[in-house]
Structure 1
Amino acid sequence: METISFGTDGWRATLEEFTAPRVRMVGQAVATYLADEGLEGPVAVGYDAREGSRGFAEDLTRVLCSNGFDVVLSERDRPTPLVAHAILERDLAGGLVITASHNPPEYNGVKFIPADGAPALPAVTDAIADRLADPDPLPKSEHGTVREVDFADPHADAALELVESVTGSADLSELGVAYDAMHGSGRDTTDALLERAGATLERFRCERDPEFGGGSPEPAAENLAALIETVTNDETDVDLGIANDGDADRLAVVTPDRGYLDENLFFAALYDYLLENASGPAIRTVSTTYLIDRVAEAHGETVHEVPVGFKWVAEAMADHDALVGGEESGGFTVRGHVREKDGVLLALLAATMHADEPIDARVDRLLSEHGTVVQDKISVDCPDSEKSRVVAELEDVIPETVSGTAVEDVNTADGFKLLLADGSWLLVRPSGTEPVLRVYAEAADEERVRELLEAGKDLVEPLV
């Protein structure tokens, strides 16, 4: 039980720790929690493309059924947001997904999604952790049933309807899109949705490979060389590139002029685009660009900042009836959809936005109006057991200046965010998914960002 802990987005671990008996304990804990809460409806179970994920999903299914719950089991690996959508669409008691998202193949994980389809808040995951136990089956006469279903078509229907309602059209018939599934569960889902909207598709890594080609299914620039080369090549008929991470809850966008598009810039462009036909605030995490705030101000809107973790974005979206919510790591959702990050829906929305006006042109206009913004991050190795101590000790060593610029304010919503007199900022916070501390910086140019990141690294490393 001590091995199982729920971080930013569920429990993830290497396969040495992520074992079938422990997965069954999580299944029992969820079953007990749902019963204690009086939730008697069916439960969704989904899984990603990793080796063993289907087997772990079947373990969860057996435990839930033996506790009297009917289970709606995905017929194949599908993106996490499809499970979240199925929970709302089918009015389920909740759902479980076997996935380690972007982590390398030697990892797996499990996350619980409550009945509202949004990520579970700590009160819920703490309650589940308190109930970890070996399976305690009911008599066979009280066992639930299992039904395998396709989560893809209902989600695609909803995505098309939402984008059409927001933008007026989801016609991609004039658009060529290169799509990279990174061997993950976005294959035959994201590309199928784009094709259904009329786009001409060129596919990369759309075959299942549980080893992800020997790397991690993380849609970072260094992992998308072929996609970037295709989109930026003037001799191809591709207008836009899209990539998903392993469970397709996040996306990366590649444009002809910029290549890999910084997720912060995409967020700003997306919010600006949505505000053409709708209104409402944006929710961003503490690590996400202040360019979102400048776009909001230009439209007479507001921005609400939350700690890192999409559960906080989702909660704030409900509290503020927000138009869009997102984070700098490429996770977004919009009003009217499930309050879970959805790289499938956002692929359709990004392509629709690009079909209306090239994303590069919109970004150029925003930077011309609001000033250049550059952001980057690095990681400093830190064991999970030491993170709390290091962050606590940081409070005593916060400097009055960083790289020669005064610290005007310190935001402690998630780690320590140092707001500097020149408008730049430096953030240090513990990762919720890996044994590292994240150091983020934002400034007006790349050289300044590098200086700030180096200063942040120098601040943290002596404490680890």
Structure 2
Amino acid sequence: MTSTEQAKLWLNDTFDTETQEQVQKLIDSKSPDLDDSFYKSLEFGTGGMRGVMGVGTNRLNKYTLGQATQGLANYLLQQFAGEEIKVAIAYDVRHNSKEFGKMCADVLTANGIKVLLFKECRPTPELSFTVREKDCNAGIVLTASHNPPEYNGYKVYWNDGAQIVPPHDSAIINEVQNTKFDQIKFNGNDDLIEWIGEKQDDIYIDACIENSTYQNIGKDNLNIVFTSIHGTTYATVPKALRKAGFKKIDLVQEQMVPSGNFPTVESPNPEEPAALQMAMDLAKIVNADIVIGTDPDGDRLGIAVRNLENEMQLLNGNQCNTILTYYILDQWKRRDKLKGNEFIGSTIVTSDIFFDIAKRFGVECKSGLTGFKWIGKMIRDTEGTQKFICGGEESFGFMTGDFVRDKDSCGSILLACEIAAFCKAHGKTMYQYLIEIYRDLGLYFESLTSITKKGRDGAEEIKQMMVDFRENPQKELAGSKVTEVKDYQEQNCLYLQENRREVMDEIPKSNVLIYYTEDGSKICIRPSGTEPKIKFYFSVKDKIESEADFKAKLVTLDEKIELIKKDLKL
């Protein structure tokens, strides 16, 4: 069926008048947007949905979201037959998020399901926390994380507070795919909605403080600059910092105003230095020790600290998580809390330094696919046998303890500020603390390259790139022989020097390739599951003997990554 034929199906009475008018306008104008809006159905995948808002099967709108929610309702009614079913719903600052949140609530209540709906936008980790704290059967959050303003998204959480994983994910997907647009129940029952807000914030913040802080040294003397980058954490993070005992908090006031336009930044992504520029400028004025920013739905955080030249420098996700993980395990060891059955969580594209940290403190490091839902699954699968301490991934996400089953900027910020205060009280910076860790375990240096390929042609290009890297693996990178190629889609590991393969099925299938070289370099290649991008994760390493070695070794390692990129023709 052509895009035009598919579009004409949206001109019947199943769809409201406004939608029909917008579709007819696309058809009449012969707009190129018609093909992109209807050439396929927006996929409800294992991570939910994320896409551009607008009319059409390949857009996020009342009907594609309604279809997803009706499918979820069908599955919940099967799984919890005869029980009172409760679903918590949160949403971020994006355009239409509040309306989409109420619409999803209407679909659920029309199916007899009770809904706990946040009155205003709130962070994703607070939704994860609320699902467990309120004994909900599931949760929904409307967010597109740090995507551009035209995007929105939809994520589903199960009753453990983590995003859906097997077997529930595929079963829900099946229900969604089998739901027709004319089967969506939009006529909700407001009597089944419980509105939640500030009181729930306080419960969540108290849990963050309880699970993410260890000592109270130097908090009065730490200068903090914080920005929510127009996102949801305006309601939680400043309040949590003050409640935890931090006194000197400067806010980037222009960016504390929630807005789906993100008017002061090109991208509300704390991974990008430009997103924190206003905070960095304020840091110079107030002589801040640490700068922190969060993404729109408040699960990711970016941290900048003073480097060896006393200038503010943005840490990458691996560096942030290295500091947080090492500090937590050190605190557990000092308190004699490590009993031999603990573990930390990581992902296959994250730095291997976390295996070294785990070994240093005698705990296990479990590694899973990209996404915190897999760390959530690790926690659920080991409850009663192993104790989860913390977990993180390179994309600026971290979680402390298991009270939230997703990456959580609030708890991570409290911990980071405690470490910064502790370091300052002992005459050093967090940056110097990181170098001390590298002296102990080895210097790891990481870099990320993302290549964007938009539209149908772009998707085909990315697909072909993965085929080429899979079928014709590099033999050498930056002068070091490639020893292993781990293929998580084919679930095998190719040992190039021995020309043999081993089955590798302990992790679910995923379209990811990892190259390892003789000198310890690691290159991960992965198409994004939420954006039209293919990502290349580089990790190289060396040893350092002193702080004086650090800068020179960083230059050498950066040059090595550039050579690897050249060999990969990037």
Taking structure 2 as the reference length, the TM-score comes to: 0.75
Deviation at 1:385, TM superposition (A): 5.6
1:396 aligned to 464, 471, 476, which one?
A: 471
- Counterpart CA distance in 2 for 1:305 and 1:336 is 16
1:107 aligned to 134, 151, 166, which one?
A: 151
2:531 aligned to 425, 434, 446, which one?
A: 434
- Counterpart CA distance in 1 for 2:143 and 2:91 is 6
SS of corresponding position for 2:257? coil
Over 3 Å counting, the alpha-carbon distance change for 1:378 and 1:28 in structure 2 is same
Match of 2:559 in 1: 447
1:244 aligns with 2:356: no
Deviation at 1:284, TM superposition (A): 1.2
Paired residues of 1:72 and 1:148 also in contact (CA < 8 A): yes
- Counterpart CA distance in 1 for 2:46 and 2:240 is 29
1:265 aligned to 319, 337, 348, which one?
A: 319
Paired residues of 1:283 and 1:324 also in contact (CA < 8 A): yes
- Counterpart CA distance in 2 for 1:225 and 1:321 is 39
Pairs aligned (count): 453
Structure index of larger Rg: 2
- Counterpart CA distance in 1 for 2:431 and 2:399 is 21
- Counterpart CA distance in 2 for 1:259 and 1:161 is 29
- Counterpart CA distance in 2 for 1:428 and 1:163 is 33
- Counterpart CA distance in 2 for 1:457 and 1:127 is 40
- Counterpart CA distance in 1 for 2:388 and 2:561 is 30
1:374 aligned to 432, 445, 454, which one?
A: 445
Paired residues of 2:217 and 2:422 also in contact (CA < 8 A): no
Paired residues of 2:211 and 2:400 also in contact (CA < 8 A): no
- Counterpart CA distance in 2 for 1:302 and 1:392 is 34
Higher percent of residues as helix: 2
- Counterpart CA distance in 1 for 2:274 and 2:517 is 30
Q: CA deviation digits over 1:319-355, x for unaligned, max 9?
A: 3533111100011112242221111111111111222
Over 3 Å counting, the alpha-carbon distance change for 1:212 and 1:143 in structure 2 is closer
Q: Identity over the aligned pairs, expressed in percent?
A: 26
1:217 aligns with 2:217: no
Q: Spell out the pairing of 1:45-60 with structure 2 (5 A cutoff).
A: 45-60=89-104
1:187 aligns with 2:241: no
- Counterpart CA distance in 2 for 1:163 and 1:170 is 14
Over 3 Å counting, the alpha-carbon distance change for 1:143 and 1:222 in structure 2 is closer
Paired residues of 2:137 and 2:158 also in contact (CA < 8 A): yes
- Counterpart CA distance in 2 for 1:49 and 1:188 is 12
Structure 2 counterpart of 1:253, one-letter code: I
Over 3 Å counting, the alpha-carbon distance change for 1:139 and 1:24 in structure 2 is closer
2:431 aligned to 348, 360, 364, which one?
A: 360
Match of 2:396 in 1: 330
Paired residues of 1:152 and 1:189 also in contact (CA < 8 A): yes
Q: CA deviation digits over 1:99-120, x for unaligned, max 9?
A: 1011010000011111100111
- Across the aligned residues of Structure 1 and Structure 2, the Cα RMSD in angstroms comes to 2.3
Match of 1:4 in 2: 42
- Counterpart CA distance in 2 for 1:240 and 1:192 is 17
- Counterpart CA distance in 2 for 1:100 and 1:336 is 24
Paired residues of 2:60 and 2:153 also in contact (CA < 8 A): yes
Paired residues of 2:124 and 2:141 also in contact (CA < 8 A): yes
SS of corresponding position for 1:323? strand
Q: CA deviation digits over 1:414-441, x for unaligned, max 9?
A: 5111111111111111111111111111
Q: Spell out the pairing of 1:31-430 with structure 2 (5 A cutoff).
A: 31-38=73-80, 40-132=84-176, 133=179, 134=181, 135-137=183-185, 145-150=192-197, 151-164=200-213, 167-169=214-216, 172-199=219-246, 200-204=248-252, 205-213=255-263, 215-219=266-270, 220-231=272-283, 233=284, 236-257=286-307, 259-278=313-332, 279=338, 280-318=342-380, 319=382, 321-357=387-423, 358-382=429-453, 383-384=458-459, 387=462, 390-413=465-488, 414=510, 415-430=512-527
SS of corresponding position for 1:408? strand
Q: CA deviation digits over 1:275-294, x for unaligned, max 9?
A: 12323322211111122222
Deviation at 1:24, TM superposition (A): 1.2
Structure 2 counterpart of 1:23, one-letter code: L
Q: Which has the higher contact order (CA 8 A, sep 6+)?
A: 1
Structure 1 gaps of 5+ residues are: 459-464
- Counterpart CA distance in 1 for 2:473 and 2:191 is 55
Paired residues of 1:375 and 1:443 also in contact (CA < 8 A): yes
SS of corresponding position for 2:330? coil
